[in-house]
Chain A
Amino acid sequence: MSEKEFLKIAAETIVNKDATGLDQVFKEAKSTGLSQDALLAAMTKGLDAVRLRLRDHSVSIPEFLLSVDVLRRGLNKLKLLKSPKKSSGKPVTIVIGVVEGDVHDLGKNIVTGVLQAYGYHVIDLGKDVSADRFLEKVKESRAAILALSTMMSTPLEHMRETVVRCKRELPEVAVIVGGAVLDQTIADNFGADGYAESAVTLPEEVRRIRGTSSISNLIEKD
């Protein structure tokens, strides 16, 4: 089997939500001497394909979640989740969480998986997170991006307060917001740098904010 065919199979394991298949790929990769970067690129390509199918609704959220799980499994095998390394410098860190007053974390969890899949170092603070906690963690981790989520209208004031405080206290940090009750206008009104309608559009929005050409933090796309 050629390297190209092998990597195609790696990508397909993500598309097909095939954890066993991925395990087999990793097992064989050892003997073929494939680089970690090549494997990661192939898996990310697979997730990209699923993400685009989620955008046109030919893939459902549960199917997408399973694909993200398989990719996470692959990332764990690559030992990237805990200490992502990039040959040309430090990885971009993103602090993410659901704002105070909201515990709906499905959207945030999907987004976290996608960001990790694209090679970002994600610090997930969970749900019902106060502005103090967000800012403390951003400072401590020297994160470049703060990502805030809410599915409810009641915590919107907490979100606004977090964005305002972050822009005032840490102006170099970009803030991106998302969630069912938000739109671009509200994001603009809050003073956020970006708005992601869903996990599908998020990588492009992060790229826009960072002013880079690649949606991945680790690999250049072909």
Chain B
Amino acid sequence: MALGKIVKSLRAGKLPPLREVPRPLLKTLATFAQVRGKFTRLSAVERVLTTFMHKEPDRIPVTPLVGAAGRNINGISFPEFSQDAEKAAEVFLSSYEFLGGDIVILMLDLSIEAADFGQDMIFPENSTAYPDHTNPVIKEIADYRRFEPVRLSESKRMKEFVRMCGLIVDRIGFRSMVTGFVFGPLGVLSMMRGAERLFKDCLNYKKDVIRACETITETLLEYVQAQCDTGVPAVTIDTLYASWNGLSKKLWEEIEGPFAREICNLIKRNKRVTAIHNCGHGIYFDSQIKFMEPDAISFAHLPDDCKTEQELKEKYGSRVTLVGYVQTPLLVHGTPRQVMDECRRQIDVFGKGGGFILAPGCEYPPNIPLTNALAMVKAAQQNS
């Protein structure tokens, strides 16, 4: 145990990296929290730790996954949220303070990395930032081999995101677990090429795509290291295309799998919790676990090899912590009562034995009121 690192984090008012603590000790702490949770309310961190160790805390932990939706609390615009670390930090912190929840997932948008590789961006007033696909970085196959890794010091959006991580970690302290975020190399590439063309290139020009993933990963490793250095106790990687919405399982394992593994190994070397977010249909739990060995998987739909929720819990519930999976259409159109009913149902299905965190399947919809986010938090709090 790197006692020095733990003490250093504690002195700085930050949560120490959980993997610095030996597993038997973590298990003991979780068992103790489980017992204590029967009589008293646990802190958010105790609750998350207990559930990560697959023990039942006082109640199911919850994260409403509110990103841009929280900007209305302080009247911050979409472009400010996307580009200004202070403003974005203010949004995440206000959302946390307003809604509660046990984990703060720093999901800003999926174009941060691509923007720093030179992808033109559009920052609309009323929606999330997105790449300008009329002018992609990768216009022809040869471009896959033409671009170079970007140094973090020379980047704009990634550097700003890292700064935001630091601001939030400092201000959240021991109150909650904060997780950084990185889009997988294939996702970044899709922002620089367009998904349709990239998919076809994966079949027709696999070596060129792999070469580009290698270049991007070099940058992502520096980016993830910088996030870890801010003190985030966890980092989430988005590997969307490991699903029916993307590549076949075999092709994903050939193209992105090894790079995703490299990124996750770095997170683990930093003794951070490793999480995957994938809101695709029929996601490949087995492949992603094989390559990334995550602590948690945030999902929006059942994996490709499970027909029912019960099967998912039985097959994977003891291997990873399941994070999910309240559906976006319900959050957009459902009443708070309907959302709470669905949350209770999911808690009943997935909550037994720990290893479950209630969350939306994808980012909380940015343009709707926060009422249903509150409903989710309320449902978890009432289900002790």
A binds B: yes
Does the CB pair A156–B332 fall under 8 Å? yes
User: Per a CB cutoff under 8 Å, which of B127, B203, B333 touches A152?
Assistant: B127
Q: Residues 64-82 of chain A: 1 if any B CB is under 8 Å from the residue's CB, otherwise 0?
A: 0110010000000000000
User: Per a CB cutoff under 8 Å, which of B122, B246, B366 touches A153?
Assistant: B366
Does the CB pair B365–A153 fall under 8 Å? yes
CB distance from B324 to the nearest CB of A (A): 15
Does the CB pair A152–B329 fall under 8 Å? no
Does the CB pair B124–A185 fall under 8 Å? no
User: Per a CB cutoff under 8 Å, which of A62, A69, A157, A186 touches B329?
Assistant: A186
Find residues 139-189 in chain A having any chain B CB closer than 8 Å to their own CB. 152-157, 180-183, 185-186, 189
Does the CB pair B368–A153 fall under 8 Å? yes
CB distance from B360 to the nearest CB of A (A): 10
- The closest CB in chain A to the CB of B128 belongs to A154
- The closest CB in chain B to the CB of A61 belongs to B199
Contacts beyond the supplied A65-B196, A104-B195: 20 A-B pairs with Cβ under 8 Å: A57-B304, A60-B251, A61-B199, A61-B246, A62-B200, A101-B126, A101-B127, A103-B130, A103-B133, A105-B196, A106-B195, A109-B196, A152-B128, A153-B366, A154-B128, A154-B366, A154-B367, A181-B332, A183-B329, A185-B329
Find residues 236-266 in chain B having any chain A CB closer than 8 Å to their own CB. 244-248, 251
Q: What are 25 A-to-B residue pairs whose CB atoms are below 8 Å? A: A57-B244, A57-B282, A60-B248, A61-B244, A61-B245, A62-B199, A63-B248, A69-B200, A101-B124, A101-B126, A101-B127, A103-B130, A103-B131, A103-B133, A106-B194, A110-B196, A153-B328, A153-B332, A154-B126, A154-B365, A181-B332, A181-B365, A183-B329, A186-B332, A189-B333
Q: Which residues of B contact A104 (CB under 8 A)?
A: 195
Q: Which residues of A contact B194 (CB under 8 A)?
A: 106
Q: Which residues of B contact A (CB under 8 A)?
A: 122, 124, 126-128, 130-131, 133, 194-196, 199-200, 202-204, 244-248, 251, 282, 304, 328-329, 331-333, 365-368
CB distance from B195 to the nearest CB of A (A): 5
Q: Which residues of A contact B (CB under 8 A)?
A: 57, 60-63, 65-66, 69, 101-106, 109-110, 152-157, 180-183, 185-186, 189
Q: Which residues of B contact A61 (CB under 8 A)?
A: 199, 244-247
CB distance from A125 to the nearest CB of B (A): 15
Most buried by B among A60, A102, A103: A60
Complex Cα gap A184–B366 (Å):
22
- The closest CB in chain A to the CB of B304 belongs to A57
CB distance from A109 to the nearest CB of B (A): 5
Does the CB pair A65–B199 fall under 8 Å? yes
Does the CB pair B126–A65 fall under 8 Å? no
Complex Cα gap A102–B130 (Å):
9
Q: Which residues of A contact B128 (CB under 8 A)?
A: 152, 154
Given A57-B282, A106-B195, A153-B366, the answer on whether A62 and B203 have CB atoms closer than 8 Å is: yes
Q: Which residues of B contact A105 (CB under 8 A)?
A: 133, 196
